[in-house]
Amino acid sequence: MATDTVVIVGASLAGSKAAETLRDEGFSGAIVLIGAEEELPYERPPLSKDYLLGTAERASTAVHDEAWYTGNDVELLLGTAVVDIHRDTREVELADGRRVGYTHLLLTTGASPRRLSLPGSELDGVHYLRDLQDSESLRDALREGGPVAVVGAGWIGLEVAAAARHHGCEVTMLEPRDMPLRAALGPELGGYFAEAHRRHGVTILTGRRPSALIGSGRVMGVTADTGEEIEADTVVVGIGAQPNTTLARGSGLRVDNGIVVDEYLRTADPTIAAAGDVASVFHPFYGRHVRVEHWANALNAGPAAARSLIGHGRPYDELPFFYTDQYDIGMEFIGLLEPDRPYTVVTRGELDDDAFHAFWLSDGQVVAGMHVNRWDDGIEPAKKLIRDRAVVDPARLADPSVPLGDVAARVP
């Protein structure tokens, strides 16, 4: 392996942790980590949480400091875009025309925010949140105060709304569905988060879509499709993300809601793997391809792909995991839900106390679980129930006096 070269396109959490894993696994060849941003690889959750609140320093977002890359002989090419993959010669082409050869290639190119295409979309004061510069720009705007409109009441929208209230801004959210997070959590828990934000002074306008942004040079508000006008000095758009697959598609790799890879995170080209937000991975537990955009997937899948590239791989079957912090609510979620599919939701504890567990059941089996501020037992009981494909007694599951380890009526 000393003469091999692993090129990682995407100086992200997944890419950086992949480089770390290669060295930890004894890979002695060259590692080249290429990123379009000038920044050292960093973690993204703080961008909508602590960093946006102003309670975390910029340096705290970095995966490693610069000395780590030097000390581990990882070549960083930052501020450098890859424009093509030449699979026939095993080279990637950079924007300046240079080519870098590879023995193995890992794509961790992430995802990009979906953008509005409406009158006024290009006005100053319209923000998206994906990178450090986005977070800094938005934080500066929130510190100035003034009314804020958030388009989309998903996870990013809700976390931004919480940060805006922290900075003292008036916040109005526009959400096309009848409540926040309906697609992610369903009506029961979506309603819980909606109420939490209303308690903190956020106005949530459901059943509304923006039809135009108002202003001349700088945004002054949003017009909803109902005709309402919402005043706003700052507009934040959080309407989802799409995987950055242009590079893979252009090189002939299969793309279908992400770069299609097997359970070892390998594409059909045995020299190329993909991981993180951009990868649609065959998941052994679910028996189908799954694409997950959350932090834990980047943290775990980057190393898994690195091991596969050097022959140390094993099937990647981490359950999807997500967490959020909003106001005094700390939440962890594990599992996989299908949007708009009916589930039986069982809660354990009182939602009004902001300390409870919730479980989603399908045909009696636990398929997903979450907790809010229950750090003593956390998410592990839900994880075990999902892994065991446990059929549970809903009454025992809801009863706090019954240990979560004793709620299974049957394990297939």
Q: What is the pLDDT along the chain (412 residues), one digit of tens a residue?
A: 568 999 999 999 999 999 999 999 999 999 999 999 999 999 999 999 999 999 999 999 999 999 999 999 999 999 999 999 999 999 999 999 999 999 999 999 999 999 999 999 999 999 999 999 999 999 999 999 999 999 999 999 999 999 999 999 999 999 999 999 998 999 999 999 999 999 999 999 999 999 999 999 999 999 999 999 999 999 999 999 999 999 999 999 999 999 999 999 999 999 999 999 999 999 999 999 999 999 999 999 999 999 999 999 999 999 999 999 999 999 999 999 998 789 999 999 999 999 999 999 999 999 999 999 999 999 999 999 999 998 999 999 999 999 998 888 765 5
Q: Output phi, psi for 349, to 5 deg.
A: 105, 170
The contacts of residue 228 (CB under 8 Å, 6+ apart) are 205, 208
CA dihedral over 270, 245, 62, 376, signed as positive or negative = negative
Residue 221 lies in a domain: yes
Residue 130 lies in a domain: yes
Residue 195 lies in a domain: yes
Q: Which of 118, 327, 325 is nearest to 235 (CA)?
A: 118
**The pLDDT value given to residue 341:** 86
**What residue type is 109 in one-letter code?**
T
Q: Which of 284, 265, 323, 360 is nearest to 8 (CA)?
A: 265
- Burial label for 226, CB within 10 Å (0-12, 13-18, 19+), is exposed
User: Which of 309, 337, 361 is where one domain is finished?
Assistant: 309
**The pLDDT value given to residue 156:** 96
Residue 401 lies in a domain: yes
**The pLDDT value given to residue 77:** 98
Tokens coding 28: 């002695």
**The pLDDT value given to residue 339:** 85
**The pLDDT value given to residue 1:** 59
User: Which of 239, 262, 296 is where one domain is finished?
Assistant: 239
Domain range for 360 is 328-410
Residue 315 lies in a domain: no
**The pLDDT value given to residue 412:** 56
Number of domains the chain is built from: 3
* Number of neighbouring beta carbons within 10 Å of residue 77: 18
Residue 119 lies in a domain: no
Q: What CATH number is given to the structural domain containing 380? A: 3.30.390.30
* Residues 60 and 144 placed together within one structural domain of the fold: no
The contacts of residue 300 (CB under 8 Å, 6+ apart) are 316, 318
* Residues 47 and 22 placed together within one structural domain of the fold: yes
Residue 404 lies in a domain: yes
**SS3 state of residue 220:** strand
Q: What CATH number is given to the structural domain containing 265? A: 3.50.50.60
* Residues 246 and 108 placed together within one structural domain of the fold: yes
249 vs 82: CA distance, rounded Å: 13
* Residues 302 and 358 placed together within one structural domain of the fold: no
348 vs 371: CA distance, rounded Å: 9
Q: What predicted TM-score, i.e. pTM, was given to this entire model?
A: 0.95
The contacts of residue 70 (CB under 8 Å, 6+ apart) are none
160 vs 152: CA distance, rounded Å: 11
* Residues 183 and 254 placed together within one structural domain of the fold: no
Phi-psi region of 265 (alpha: psi -120 to 50; beta: other; left: phi over 0): left
90 vs 100: CA distance, rounded Å: 8
Residue 254 lies in a domain: yes
**The pLDDT value given to residue 409:** 72
Tokens coding 312: 């140390």
